[in-house]
Every structure is written in C-alpha cells, then in structure tokens.
Structure 1
Amino acid sequence: MKYITTATEDAVKDLYYKMGLVDPDHSVDDIAQRLGIQLFYLRKPSFASHGCIYLDPTIPEKRRKEVFSHELGHILYHSGIQLFMTESYRRMQEWQADNFALHFAVPTFMLKEIELLDWNQAINSVVTTFNVTPNFAAKRLEHYEKQIQG
C-alpha cells in the first residue's frame, strides 16, 4: 500500500528542506535560528508571541523539542490572543498545534527511514532518533499507523 502524505506532512518536509535539514539531529536552538525565530528561556509556562518562542528552561530535554514544536505550530498557523477567543476556537488551535508538533518533532519523511520492527522497539527507536519522550513517540507512531491504514 502506498503511503499518501497529508498537507501538514508536506509542509513540514518543505520547511525542513528550506532549513537545509535532512536528519533529526538538531537542537531547538538551531532550528529557531534557521527559521529566524527568537527563542527565549523563562521560568514561566511556555508560549509563543509575535514570532518569538518562550520555553521554560526547567522542561526536560526530551520534552523541549515537543513543546518547541507545539509553539512553532502556533507561530506558523495562528494569530491573535487566545484570551479573547471562544473556548472552542482556542481548543481547535491547541489541537492544530499538537498535531503540527507530532509531525514537526518526528517528520514523516525521516520516520520512513527507520526500520520499525515491533511496537516497543519502534517506540525506543523514535525516542532515541528524535529525542522525544516515550509517550510522544507512541502517539506519533499511532498517528503514523493510522495514515498507513488509510
């Protein structure tokens, strides 16, 4: 069965290629610099505003890429201040940012290069290769399997 990519997967691949990145071994600091996004570390809940990403420096390294990817999704796809939005619209934006984060932190075009044997091995491979948490890796693999099944 042929894997058909989504618009989000295609956009993420294009973004990685425009940054000159074809492998997952890059820090969020490097990615932010390549995208021209200012990245600040503050001891507050992470957020994005006016083209900048603010990350809590106490976030464990394996979560940092996940949170950065979520906030990047807001920068690329959303505008406005969530405080003034309806709850349903805010939830939709959070869902979109979460979905983007799955694809950006573990891009499909890179994921396809990994041999995924059994479930536990696949999770470990994604954790190690993409520097994400096991929970995030499992979510991404579930999403990937659903895409494969069509």
Structure 2
Amino acid sequence: MNLSFAQTTLEQWTEQLWDKAGIRAVSQLNIDEVAARLNVWVHYMDETSRALEYLGMRSILIDKRLGAREQWEEFLHELCHVLRHAGNQTLMPKSFCEGQEAEANRFVLYAAIPASMLMAIPLPDSLEEASELLADRFGVTPALARRRLEQIQRRIFARALWEEALEAGAYPLPRSGLPT
C-alpha cells in the first residue's frame, strides 16, 4: 500500500514506541506480548476497562466480558492513558478529560494498525474487503479497521490536493507546510 502522507506526532510516537519495545511484526500485537514488553500488569475483571498507576506500577484492568478483539482495543486505549496521561480523570476539568480520551482513541488506531506494518500488505480495492482483511490480520474489529483505512485515505487525499495546489501556485508556502 502506498502510504504517501505525513504522520501525526502521536503516530510517530506510537511507531517509535513499538520499535523501541521490539514490536515489529503483526504477530506481536497482542495484550500479553505488549504488556510484557512495556512492563504493564494486566488484570481481567467483570468491570469496565480502566488504567491505574500506583507507586510506579502500571496496571490495566480489562473487561473480561468483552470479545478478544474488543479487549485488545480497550487494552490499547488504556495503555495510552498509562503511558501518556497523568491524573485522576474524575477530578479533571471536562475539557481536559475529553482531550485525553480523544488522544487515547487516536492512539488505538495507530497502535492497532501501525503504518509501518500496513505498508507491506497488499489491499483489495474495496473498502469493505480491505477492512475485513485488516481486521482479521491485526485482530481488531472491522469497524476499527475501516476507521483506520478511512483516516489514511483522507490524509493521502489531503496531501495530494495540497501538492496540486502548490504546483498550481495557489499557495506560496514552503513544501514543509504540508498538512498532516
């Protein structure tokens, strides 16, 4: 797949996280492997998933009533909280909490289907077929795979439009000003 788009800062950070942890193959994208490599304790409970950090010990509680794919996605969401966020969300201003949740949701897309691993996979032309293929390959829900593909499509399209506008002289900005 041609991934001609600029990665966001969070996407770059996520790719670097996987690289530093030695996670370079799709087969390594699972709760046990990631938790072991990042020194995160995982517990399964009959409760809503959440992240905790106490005295430097990072823990993620996963709702065991969910299916395996949903558990993986929830794990990644909570992993973002333990790696990038601080504080108790119940005590935070609403807008700050919403910002953390939005970042954790974006992290799930980048961590579940990293661009570096996606590039090596030939995809069908149909969005539905491509979503199903990625869902099966990466162990995520088809909805998440579709959101990731749509996100990438939007970014590739935006970059192409931006480059076309620059070539036409519509915007006298340096090429480094390409949108992400």
Decide: shared fold, TM above 0.5: yes
In structure 2, the partner of 1:5 is: 7
In structure 1, the partner of 2:155 is: 147
Counterparts of 2:72 and 2:101 in 1: how far apart (Å)? 16
What is the count of residue pairs matched by the alignment? 150
Counterparts of 2:4 and 2:46 in 1: how far apart (Å)? 45
Matches within 5 A, 1:35-114: 35-50=38-53, 51-114=58-121
Counterparts of 1:52 and 1:131 in 2: how far apart (Å)? 22
| TM score, norm. by length of structure 2 | 0.79
| TM score, norm. by length of structure 1 | 0.93
Counterparts of 1:135 and 1:62 in 2: how far apart (Å)? 11
Counterparts of 2:75 and 2:67 in 1: how far apart (Å)? 12
Deviation at 1:12, TM superposition (A): 1.4
SS of 2:109's partner is: helix
Counterparts of 1:106 and 1:41 in 2: how far apart (Å)? 24
Bigger shift: residues 23-32 or 37-46: 23-32
Counterparts of 1:2 and 1:81 in 2: how far apart (Å)? 38
Counterparts of 1:101 and 1:119 in 2: how far apart (Å)? 20
Specify the structure having the higher radius of gyration (Cα).
2
- Among residues 116, 136, 139, which one is paired with 2:144 in the alignment? 136
In structure 2, the partner of 1:122 is: 130
- Structure 1, unmatched stretches of 5+, are none
Counterparts of 1:83 and 1:140 in 2: how far apart (Å)? 29
Deviation at 1:127, TM superposition (A): 0.5
Counterparts of 2:100 and 2:10 in 1: how far apart (Å)? 14
Q: What letter is aligned with 1:43? A: D
SS of 1:25's partner is: helix
